[in-house]
Chains A and B, each alone.
Chain A
């Protein structure tokens, strides 16, 4: 079945440093979504990318969708302590009915001040 892989699994940065997490799918995706989960919390929707090569920005967060629609990245510029949490990518498989989101294992970000 479809697999979504995410690296790194953990990342520790000093406040102010940049952070990037990468996501790769074994199959072509119809779209990719990114979620953030704070410790003890639930996943919170961040963004959805649909088009090949799409780039979207939300303040210090930049999301990219690869040309082949099989990979994606999230980049955070100048991290803050509020960025702490686990970032998950999740893909909708192009070949399925289009309702099953397959999550990566997530990248857990810790930030020290």
Chain B
């Protein structure tokens, strides 16, 4: 069964550093998403991506964040200058035309 994959599974970085989180969505899906989940809290929408551009973004997704689909398979989330409060689990998801979303296993980002 096709699945979304994410790398790395855990990323530790120092405050102010740039990080890139990587995702490979399900191959025939059209929509791609990033979510974050702070430990013990709800899943929060960051951004959706369709047809090589951002479709929607939340208030959390400020100028420090960017997304890219550099080739036909990868989907990346970049955080330019990490802050302590960026520490969270980041989930990538993809969906087909009916918007049911399939989540990857997540990247745990720890900012020290």
Contact = CB atoms under 8 A, between A and B. Distances in A.
A33 B48 CA distance: 16
Interface stretch (B13-21, B50-58, B70-78): B50-58
A100 B55 CA distance: 9
Interface string A73-113: 00000000000000010101000111111111110000000
B105 A103 contact: no
A24 interface: no
B42 A106 contact: yes
Contacts of A90: 43
B43 A100 contact: no
B105 to A, nearest CB: 5
Nearest to B46: A100
Interface range on chain A: under 10, 10 to 19, 20 to 34, or 35 or more? Answer: 20 to 34
B45 A102 contact: yes
Contacts of A37: 43
A59 interface: no
Contacts of B91: 42-43
A105 B31 CA distance: 24
Contacts of A100: 45, 48, 56, 58
Given A99-B50, A99-B56, A45 B45 contact: no
Nearest to B55: A99
Contacts of B58: 100
A27 interface: no
Interface of A: 1, 31, 33, 35, 37, 41-45, 48, 88, 90, 92, 96-106
Interface of B: 31, 33, 35, 41-45, 48, 50, 55-56, 58-59, 91, 98-106
Across the A-B interface, the 9 shortest Cβ-Cβ residue pairs: A99-B48, A103-B43, A42-B103, A105-B42, A100-B56, A99-B55, A43-B103, A103-B42, A45-B100
14 contacts: A33-B99, A37-B43, A43-B43, A43-B91, A44-B103, A48-B98, A48-B99, A88-B43, A97-B48, A97-B55, A100-B56, A101-B45, A102-B45, A104-B42
